Amino acid sequence: SQNFGSLVVCRFFAGAFGAGCLAIGAGTNSDLWPPISRAAASAVFILAPFLGPAIGPPVGGFAVMAKGWRWTQWPVLMIGLAALIFGAFQEETYKKIILQRRARRLDIPPPPNPLPPGLARVKFLLFVTVFRPIRMLITEPIVAYFSIYTAFNFSVLFGFFDAFPLVFQGVYHFNISESGLTFLGIGLGCCIATGVFIMMDRLTYRKKTLAARAKGDMTPLPPEQRLHSAMLGSFLLPISLFWFAWTARE
């Protein structure tokens, strides 16, 4: 990029192509893990995109001081290439596609498609993927409130990332590399939170599931049973915000 416009366009495509991992990750975890074991796998998976903004600034800070700002992109390209090579040998996990491929390989009829044919299929997919989520957002209070709360948490988190250079460079006069090192605290917090979440899942969701199975009830627990960690985080979030704000002084 030689100007701001081309930088914005490249940034857009980087985000658009990178979003695929987050979009299909939950479905892949659902394919690979049963509900009783899914929390730990999902927690480690979700940890990765939060470790990126925590590890990136320290690496980028030293790269900028040594080689210039364009070198902040070379580590991303190197890691991306390694991930691409690793991902190229991943196998399909979606049951429907696996059955279709097996049918073609064995030259047998594929499993019946539950979707209606023709234009009705397009209308059905459009309703399920677009209109149904919008209707749930408007008519289901739990969906609306949880979405607002999650959006607020994400805005606070990424606002946090922007506030770190303002505080540590502007108030405490750190240089770029020193300011980048302060982000490691967020990474450490994410790792601790992941461990706490897995422990709480073992003590709540997994324990209750095993107790229900011992009585012969194989029905999965409702999703609300996974919210204990969020309840703990709802108290820690405002505490951390006040702590950071009140100590950011000359």
pLDDT digits (tens, 9 = 90+) for 110-137: 877 777 777 777 888 888 888 888 889 8
In percent, the amount of the chain with pLDDT more than 90 equals 10
Give the pLDDT score at 133: 87
Q: Among 96-105, 154-163, 205-214, where is mean pLDDT lowest?
A: 154-163
More confident residue, 113 or 109: 109
Question: Burial of 51 by CB count in 10 Å (0-12 exposed, 13-18 middle, 19+ buried)?
Answer: middle
| The pLDDT of residue 95 is above 90 | no
DSSP for the chain, written as a single string: --SHHHHHHHHHHHHHHHHHHHHHHHHHHHHHS-HHHHHHHHHHHHHHHHHHHHHHHHHHHHHHHHH-GGGGHHHHHHHHHHHHHHHHTPPP--HHHHHHHHHHHHT-PPPPP-SPSTHHHHHHHHIIIIIHHHHHHHH-HHHHHHHHHHHHHHHHHHHHHHHHHHHHHHTS---HHHHHHTTHHHHHHHHHHHHHHHHHHHHTHHHHHHHHHHTT--PPPPGGGG-HHHHHHHHHHHHHHHHHHHH---
Q: For the range 242-246, what are the long-range contacts, defined as Cβ-Cβ under 8 Å and sequence gap of 24 or more?
A: 244/160, 244/163, 244/167
79-88, 105-114, 232-241: lowest mean pLDDT where? 105-114
pLDDT in tens, 19-76: 887 788 888 888 998 888 888 888 998 898 888 888 888 888 888 888 888 888 888 8
For residues 167 and 171, what is the distance between their CA atoms, to the nearest angstrom?
A: 5
